């Protein structure tokens, strides 16, 4: 039995080869792997001794040879293939152990592996059926199980891996090469030089067009407690070989996360950091069913939490609470006095805070996490396909907004408008947000018309946004939406503009004594 071992990731390879050799296997290896095995005293046959050809082109060509690929690809069930091996003096290769150059660590041509994928795919193609075939191992985590099965097989006289194991390893092999190719395609999709060129000219880089193809290679890393409902299965996947902020998050206490815990916590974590960064202060966001039901910003975290909770205390029950600052003892006192949250997430906790949460909120999941990652493409599945768009952003700056009414907003009203607009951009459409003093006192979301969203926001605000701002994620098609904002007592309305009846809407705002700002951008979210 002959094995070909050529790996970049040498984790456990010496122990694997040592035990494989003790089972009577001949080991062929190349380059650094051969040197590592030889240094450890493992009997090893160099690839160049098999091929009769030295490594070439700085190692770019070493295993690409008929004496290697003939040995891997020969179908042992076909006499003609066996005769061809005999004719050319080629020994069959029964096991290929190979993993690829770490392209993601330093993307570029020199880390595009050629010989590795060729060997892996050749072995996987020839994994065979019950009559025998080639085994292929790409993950060091499989070494122990493969060795145990080979030892049992040798003891019984069978001498190889079972068809079921070869098939399982083959799937892993093709997943390995598919993920590798996907990483290369993603690198090639990155706009070459645009940021560097823009930096030299003082101009902003142009947005890259959406790629002609999208290649997803995902690995399962977390089992959800259940899916969207308890009778559904759920899991968290990530891009193969990449770590996200979720992989660095630590759960201090509470039940295992469900599908919706992941979904809502991810939304809350992105919103609270966006809001905190925009305001340059502490921020707290409470999310329920993918929508913020409370949001506030300010200097004192305990006060910010209280205002966020007071936005909609009824909806906050069982919600996701996100903090952009370390949770202190003053804040945990407010949390203890409030309705129980399903999950709390923060960048850290003062000494004693987690213990108090565990004692008073045993079922609350308490997470500590780094900042969320930068967004890339946004993908959403539809029946038979996917919708892809660039990530959610705020394109306009408040200093570029247009005052379209006779009355201009005061400095405090403009600050309220900026805050309301930022929160509104994270609410599912149709979205209306009423805010004052960096607190979203009324949030209307997901209604089929803008007027009812405004009425819902006004009912929740209950007068607390008087003198503040109303933000609408899309233009007001008629003046009735502005009337609803005025009835809530706000002083300024911020909206995208662009309706056919903009003049009528502006006239209504003037009639009601409101200031109105046009942002020039829509913020629909679905």
Q: What does the pLDDT read at residue 131?
A: 63
Domains 2-187 and 252-368 share a fold: no
Return the pLDDT at 325: 97
Overall fold of domain 2-187: Rossmann fold (3.40.50)
Interval 161-188 mean pLDDT: 90
- How confident is the model over 344-360, as a mean pLDDT? 94
How much is the average pLDDT of 365-391?
A: 90
Catalytic site includes residue 289: yes
Asked if the bond preceding 430 is cis, omega within 30° of 0, the reply is: yes
Q: At what angle do helices 353-360 and 329-337 cross, to 10 degrees?
A: 10
pLDDT of residue 105: 81
Query: Residue ranges per domain, the chain?
Result: 2-187, 252-368, 398-518
* Statement: residue 204 has pLDDT above 70: no
Token match 């599945």: residue?
Answer: 381
The percent of residues in the chain predicted with pLDDT above 90, rounded, is: 56
**What is residue 205's predicted lDDT score, i.e. its pLDDT?**
46
Q: What is the model's pLDDT at position 451?
A: 83
Q: Check whether 193 has a pLDDT greater than 60.
A: no
Decide which of 246 and 213 is more confident. 246
Q: How confident is the model at residue 153 (pLDDT cuts 50, 70, 90)?
A: confident
Kindly state the tokens that stand for 449.
């018309």
The answer on pLDDT for 222 being more than 80 is yes
Three-state DSSP at 423 gives helix
Whole-number Å distance between alpha carbons of 229 and 444: 25
Q: With CA atoms as reference, report the closest residue to 94 among 61, 138, 133.
A: 133
Q: Which residue has the tokens 């939406």?
A: 481
Burial pattern 362-384, b for ≥16 Cβ within 10 A else e, equals eebbbbbbeebeeeeeeeeeeee
pLDDT the model gives residue 208? 67
| Cα–Cα dist 233/255, whole Å | 17
- pLDDT value at residue 270: 95
Active-site pick, 10, 81, 125, 252: 125
pLDDT of residue 196 exceeding 50, the answer is no
Q: Which of 81, 252, 273, 289 is catalytic?
A: 289
pLDDT grade, residue 18 (50/70/90)? very high
Residue 203 has pLDDT above 90, yes or no: no
The predicted-structure confidence for 286-342, as pLDDT tens digits, reads as follows 999 989 999 999 999 999 999 999 999 999 999 999 999 999 999 999 999 999 999
> Residue written as tokens 């069959």?
92
- Note the pTM of the prediction, 2 decimals: 0.85
Please write the tens of the pLDDT for every residue from 96-147: 999 888 888 887 888 888 888 988 999 999 998 666 789 999 999 999 999 9
User: How many whole angstroms separate alpha carbon 255 and alpha carbon 343?
Assistant: 10
Amino acid 129: pLDDT: 65
Percent of the chain with pLDDT strictly greater than 70: 95
CATH class for the region spanning 252-368? alpha beta
Across 12-26, 53-67, 206-220, 440-454, least confident range: 53-67
CA distances from 4 to 40, 154, 332, 408 (A): 17, 19, 59, 76
pLDDT digits over 257-274, tens only?
A: 999 999 999 999 999 999
How far is the C-alpha of 512 from the C-alpha of 482, rounded, in Å? Answer: 9
423 pLDDT more than 90: yes
What size, in residues, is the chain?
Answer: 526
CATH superfamily of 398-518: AICAR transformylase, duplication domain (3.40.140.20)
Strands 45-46 and 218-223: unpaired
Average pLDDT over residues 433-460: 92
* Six-digit token string for 179: 């993920």
Q: Which residues contact 108 (CB under 8 A, 6 or more apart)?
A: none
Residue range 211-216: average pLDDT?
86
* Mean pLDDT, all residues of the chain: 89
């Amino acid at each position: 039995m002959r094995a070909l071992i050529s790996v970049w990731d040498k984790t456990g390879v010496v122990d694997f080869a040592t035990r494989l050799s003790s089972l009577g296997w001949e080991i062929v290896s190349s380059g650094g792997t051969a040197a590592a095995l030889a240094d450890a005293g493992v009997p090893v046959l160099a690839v160049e001794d098999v091929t009769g050809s030295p490594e070439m082109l700085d190692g770019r060509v070493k295993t690409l040879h008929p004496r290697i690929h003939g040995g891997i690809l020969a179908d042992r069930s076909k006499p003609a293939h066996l005769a061809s091996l005999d004719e050319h003096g080629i020994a069959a290769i029964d096991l290929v152990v190979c993993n690829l150059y770490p392209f993601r660590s330093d993307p570029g041509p020199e880390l595009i592996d050629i010989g590795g994928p060729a060997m892996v795919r050749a072995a996987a193609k020839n994994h065979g059926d019950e009559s025998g075939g080639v085994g292929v191992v790409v993950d060091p985590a499989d070494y122990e199980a493969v060795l145990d099965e080979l030892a049992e097989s040798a003891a019984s006289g069978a001498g190889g891996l079972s068809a079921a194991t070869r098939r399982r390893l083959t799937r892993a092999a093709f997943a390995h090469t598919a993920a590798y190719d996907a990483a290369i395609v993603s690198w090639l999709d990155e706009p070459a030089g645009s940021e560097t060129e823009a930096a030299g000219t003082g101009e902003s880089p142009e947005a890259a067009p959406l790629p002609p193809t999208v290649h997803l290679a995902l690995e399962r890393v977390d089992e959800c407690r259940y899916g969207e409902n308890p009778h559904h299965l759920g899991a968290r996947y990530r891009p193969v070989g990449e770590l996200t902020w979720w992989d660095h998050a630590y759960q201090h206490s509470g039940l295992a996360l469900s599908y919706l815990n992941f979904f809502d916590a991810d939304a809350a974590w992105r919103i609270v950091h966006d809001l905190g960064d925009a305001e340059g202060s502490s921020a707290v966001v409470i999310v329920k069913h993918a929508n913020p039901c409370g949001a506030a910003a300010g200097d004192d975290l305990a006060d910010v939490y209280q205002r966020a909770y007071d936005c909609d205390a009824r909806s906050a029950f069982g919600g996701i609470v996100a903090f952009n600052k370390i949770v202190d003892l003053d804040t945990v006192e407010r949390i203890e006095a409030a309705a129980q949250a399903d999950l709390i997430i923060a960048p850290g906790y003062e000494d004693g805070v987690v213990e108090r949460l565990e004692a008073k909120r045993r079922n609350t999941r308490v997470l500590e996490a780094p900042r969320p990652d930068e967004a890339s493409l946004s993908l959403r599945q539809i029946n038979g396909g996917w919708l892809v768009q660039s990530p959610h952003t705020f394109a306009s700056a408040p200093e570029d907004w247009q005052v379209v009414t006779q009355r201009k907003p005061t400095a405090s009203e403009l600050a309220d408008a900026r805050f309301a607009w930022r929160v509104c951009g994270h609410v599912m459409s149709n979205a209306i947000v009423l805010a004052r003093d960096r607190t979203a006192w009324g949030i209307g979301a997901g209604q089929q018309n803008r007027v009812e969203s405004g009425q819902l926001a006004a009912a929740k605000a209950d007068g607390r946004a008087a003198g503040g701002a109303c933000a609408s994620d899309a233009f007001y098609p008629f003046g009735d939406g502005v009337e609803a904002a005025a009835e809530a007592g706000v002083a300024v309305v911020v909206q995208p503009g662009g309706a056919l009846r903009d003049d009528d809407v502006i006239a209504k705002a003037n009639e009601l004594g409101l200031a109105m700002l046009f942002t020039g951008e829509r913020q629909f979210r679905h």
